[in-house]
Chains A and B, each alone.
Chain A
Amino acid sequence: MQPIVYTIEKPDIAKWLERLLETAEVIAPVAGYSGEVVFSAISSPAQVLWDFENPLHPAKQFVLPQTDPIVAIKRNGQRHEVEPIYDDSRRVLFNVRSCDVKGIAFLTRMQEMEPADGSYLRRAYSLTVISLTCNTPCPLGFCVCTDSGPFLNGDYDIQLTDLGGKYLAEVGSEKGEAAVSNAANLFRTATEGEVSLRKRLETAARNRFGQETCHFASAMRRISTGRVQDALWEKISDWCLECGGCSLICPTCYCFSVRDRARDGNWIRYRIWDSCQYTAFTLEASGHNPHEQRKDRIKRRFFHKVSAQYYMRDGTVGCVGCGRCIKVCLGTADMPAVVAAIRKGKWHE
């Protein structure tokens, strides 16, 4: 839909949040333990942070939890009954950053592909995403390289931009419209001047990016045409400690494993986060493992993330430039470092 653009005065934000809290669980970045920024359900508007660096644990946990019950298996005489478990409680994700918005949109696109994942989709469709643009990019972010920030043109339900004394609120969906109409008296239609201020802020933010860059295009050419030497993957693999952090933390990674848990004579099947970087990820029942060597698993990961084959299918690279993998990598094999290595054909030289 064509975005409808409103503004809301800063003092009115609390009233709006209170309205939202009446009908939904509101999750926002808050100050957690020892001042760390974390996503958490709020009980009062005052908890919400407005000037913050993106939490390390990604917002994808609210559509794809690390441990998620998906199926109940019940015994009924000689038979077993299998019932899906859905979570469609209404949630609002407030003040998420553009990269996480893109990440959730990416995951939803993947899960909508046939066969569609009902468990994921019911939860995602019940979620309203209200984002806050980044007037100042975060130090390690490189979302300009992945078309996922600092400002977005879509994929959000509402996108807020700090204009000084007020916020610009771009509504991008019916869910977003509903969240505004819930407190219609607090919003007014934005003026042309306000919209052009937002554009100027976006340009300014784009010009303010930090050290991290990630030139996907040339890396994509090389990896898609098999021009990355095996020896390079082998070198990179010595600088990875197989923690799996890069994929667990990645807003666009959605691989999972399942595990059953007995409860009162019945079972619950859980979906749990898994990482393609773990040895047993592709271990087959026969004992054969097509990706037994770490270099093969790293190659596989970056092929999925960066190759033209997947770009054509997914419409984007599998990265939103949030920079989280740089912070969690227990090694030196984060996305920008590996993309640079693919591009240059060199690693630590």
Chain B
Amino acid sequence: MLTVPTTCPFCACGCGFYLLANKGELVGVAPSETHPVSRGRLCARGWGAHEAPLWGTRLREPLVKRNGRLEPVSWAEALDHVTGRIKGLIEAGKSVGVLGSPRATNEENYLAGKLARAGLETNDVDFSYHSICRPLLAGLEEVTGEYGCSISLDDIELSETIVLIEGDLAKTHPRAAFSVMKAVEKGARLAAIGYARTQMARLSSLYLQTVPGGEGEVINGLLAGVLHASLEDRTSATAHCEGYEALRRDLTAVKATKEMHRAAEWIARAERATFLIPPTSAQGDQLRKDAAAFVTLAAITGHLGRPGSGLLMLLGRSNVRGACDMGVAPDRLPGYQPFYDGRAQQRLQGLWGKKLPSAQGLDAESLLQSVSGLIVLADDPPSVLPMRQQALAAMERMEYIVVLDAFVTPTVRAAHVALPIASFAETEGTLTSMEGRVQRVRAITDPPGEARTGWQVLAELCARFEVSASYSSATDVLREIAQAAPRYAGIGQQMLEEGWGGTLDEDFDTGKRVLHAAGVTAQTSPERPHLLAWDGVFDWGRDPLISFSPTLSRDYQSQRKLFPHGFVEMCPQDADELGMRPGWQVKLTSLRGAAVVPIQVRTDLTPGVLLVPYAFREHVAKVLGVERLTAVKAERA
């Protein structure tokens, strides 16, 4: 039996465990008591982490599409094909973009970015999940000038007050939910803002009920509660923050409810308070404003930069943070520095020996609509982007798509060339958790069939596009990352000393905060009294075992089989009013269009809210259009 310590590839909490293999085959997962994040406690996904590489549908050999079918070829042939066709597109003046991935390692993402900027000379590089979390990061950056987190999961446990924008933390980030639970057990006050009386809401001292997209209103209420009762930390609010007077002005008309006043008082009086925010179902710009207002709440109550107090962004994938840090973004270079930043450009030009492209690139959604060629690293736009059909159609129109993936995804099926790479259990590299821990994944078995490690394939592609990329190991790539993204400079050494990994330095103590209130827009109307939203907290829905791409498969299949027509969830009161029972068809009509879907009844949901699991969003695509939530009229079909 072989035992190898590694990092969980699922959410961004950054738990660690041992993978177990026997005779070259994965056989299980064993918890580790010494891991600084998980300490032996894993969620269902962690316990089943070996299942994805073992049972998932794996890509085993390079494939090239001929007569509409993907056929096996040699690596040399596949790589020649890719080089020839991509160069042909570029010579013809057509654009080629690159997609990285929050489930790929830092090393892979870094090389994908390098390939795009130095090899293809474009800033058209992004990852699909970025479209979900970008507004959140932007909101944080707007207030603090930083986009990292200022606390660790352990800090939650020591908090007196926790403010949680609740999607369904217990399902999406069980390790974080555990910390909240432990804090509540010790007597902490939990204020949960959400639209369903979820497990965390039931454990809360105060459940601030709202509707999808209504989180901003509650945050404004809390801000008003703080300001109206003069509970703010005057020193922080005036000396370190800009926009204090404007904030007061913006909030004079906002009424805080009794509960909001209570929560505001808990926040202001707490020695240690933590603020947890996932991507909500609010639309892009509104999510950014909600996030900024939420950070503002932490800032004016003096909880930003105070040890043990602060904010945690609940990111949905293991390496969102890393993909951003590696510059897999159209407007950011490694280190998440703006692409126009002179010093960063110079540093990279020195390192890569190439001049960087000067025009800002396109984000994942726009990129799909406009490029002719696409190189995809372990991303799957149809599964991740809100508009599944549009993404599929866009990929169908494209002249050339190359996909590097360990699993057979819808994107692989649409590709012209598929290159098999190692899964997290077969490669070396690092992942950066939401706390800023840079931790190793390690190979325990060989990749299946002809598959190679992703960093090797990307280095080979870089070389074929005249970019220097001679690395003898993933650690070599990490060394180069340390030069490209200065914050990663000390990581290599920490890895050697601490075993499980190192931690990025977060600098939250200095710098001006710029305060913002949330923008609030009304959604429903008398004609369309219901609010339809996708369960957007986690793009793969509330089911803890549901797959994102085919990388975690238990249960997922059964859900799909059980509900071939998808479903929307509603509360019993709404079902009664419509005279409906579970399984019956509801007709949903919005300004954009209509759809008929079966319903499921869920007792913990706020009346008037209809939720559609992310995996079933295509069934209501006509109603939602490009929106994440919309007002609808619901009637029995």
Q: Report yes or no: A259 in contact with B42, Cβ–Cβ below 8 A.
A: no
B317 within 8 A of A: no
Closest approach, in angstroms, between the C-beta of B587 and any C-beta of chain A?
A: 24
Per-residue A-contact encoding for B485-515, CB less than 8 Å = 1, 0 else: 0000000000000011000000000000000
Q: Report yes or no: A33 in contact with B5, Cβ–Cβ below 8 A.
A: yes
* Chain B hits for A330, CB < 8 A: 41-43, 174-175, 178
Chain A residue with minimal CB distance to B557? A280
Q: Report yes or no: A328 in contact with B555, Cβ–Cβ below 8 A.
A: no
* Chain A hits for B170, CB < 8 A: 241-242
Q: Report yes or no: A65 in contact with B28, Cβ–Cβ below 8 A.
A: yes
Q: Report yes or no: A40 in contact with B41, Cβ–Cβ below 8 A.
A: no
Known: A57-B31, A238-B199. Contact between A38 and B18, CB under 8 A?
yes
Number of interface residues of B (CB under 8 A): 46
* Chain B hits for A238, CB < 8 A: 199, 202-203
Q: Report yes or no: B185 in contact with A348, Cβ–Cβ below 8 A.
A: yes
* Chain A hits for B33, CB < 8 A: 36, 56, 327
Known: A38-B3, A38-B18, A348-B185. Contact between A241 and B31, CB under 8 A?
no
B181 within 8 A of A: yes
The CA of A245 and the CA of B32, in the complex, are separated in Å by 13
A184 within 8 A of B: no
Known: A259-B55, A283-B558. Contact between A34 and B500, CB under 8 A?
yes
A67 within 8 A of B: yes
* Chain B hits for A254, CB < 8 A: none
Q: Report yes or no: A280 in contact with B174, Cβ–Cβ below 8 A.
A: no
Interface centre among A56, A327, A330, A331 (most CB of B within 10 A): A330
Closest approach, in angstroms, between the C-beta of B41 and any C-beta of chain A?
A: 5
Chain B residue with minimal CB distance to A38? B3
* Chain A hits for B181, CB < 8 A: 239, 241, 331-332
Number of interface residues of A (CB under 8 A): 41
A310 within 8 A of B: no
B253 within 8 A of A: no
A182 within 8 A of B: no
Q: Report yes or no: B3 in contact with A40, Cβ–Cβ below 8 A.
A: yes
Interface centre among B1, B20, B558 (most CB of A within 10 A): B1
* Chain A hits for B203, CB < 8 A: 238-239
A287 within 8 A of B: yes
B73 within 8 A of A: no
Per-residue A-contact encoding for B508-541, CB less than 8 Å = 1, 0 else: 0000000000000000000000000000000000
The CA of A272 and the CA of B47, in the complex, are separated in Å by 12
* Chain A hits for B28, CB < 8 A: 61, 65-67, 273
Q: Report yes or no: A245 in contact with B199, Cβ–Cβ below 8 A.
A: no
Q: Name A51-68 residues within 8 Å CB distance of B.
A: 56-57, 61, 65-68
B239 within 8 A of A: no
B328 within 8 A of A: no
A105 within 8 A of B: no
* Chain A hits for B46, CB < 8 A: 243
B473 within 8 A of A: no
Closest approach, in angstroms, between the C-beta of B293 and any C-beta of chain A?
A: 29
Chain A residue with minimal CB distance to B45? A243
* Chain A hits for B34, CB < 8 A: 33-36
* Chain A hits for B185, CB < 8 A: 239, 332, 348
B177 within 8 A of A: yes
* Chain A hits for B25, CB < 8 A: 67
B410 within 8 A of A: no
Q: Report yes or no: A243 in contact with B44, Cβ–Cβ below 8 A.
A: yes
Q: Name A16-69 residues within 8 Å CB distance of B.
A: 32-36, 38, 40-41, 56-57, 61, 65-68
Per-residue A-contact encoding for B26-53, CB less than 8 Å = 1, 0 else: 1111111110000011111011001100
Known: A66-B27, A327-B40, A348-B185. Contact between A33 and B18, CB under 8 A?
yes
Chain B residue with minimal CB distance to A237? B199
A329 within 8 A of B: yes
Q: Report yes or no: A280 in contact with B555, Cβ–Cβ below 8 A.
A: yes
B76 within 8 A of A: no
Q: Report yes or no: A32 in contact with B3, Cβ–Cβ below 8 A.
A: yes
* Chain A hits for B42, CB < 8 A: 243, 245, 328, 330
A278 within 8 A of B: yes
Chain A residue with minimal CB distance to B43? A243
The CA of A243 and the CA of B31, in the complex, are separated in Å by 12
B349 within 8 A of A: no
Known pairs A66-B50, A243-B41, A331-B178; list 13 more (Cβ under 8 Å).
A33-B3, A34-B499, A35-B34, A56-B31, A65-B27, A67-B54, A241-B43, A241-B178, A245-B42, A278-B545, A280-B554, A280-B558, A283-B558
- Residue positions of A touching B, CB distance < 8 A: 32-36, 38, 40-41, 56-57, 61, 65-68, 238-239, 241-245, 248-249, 259, 261, 272-273, 275, 278-280, 283, 287, 327-332, 348
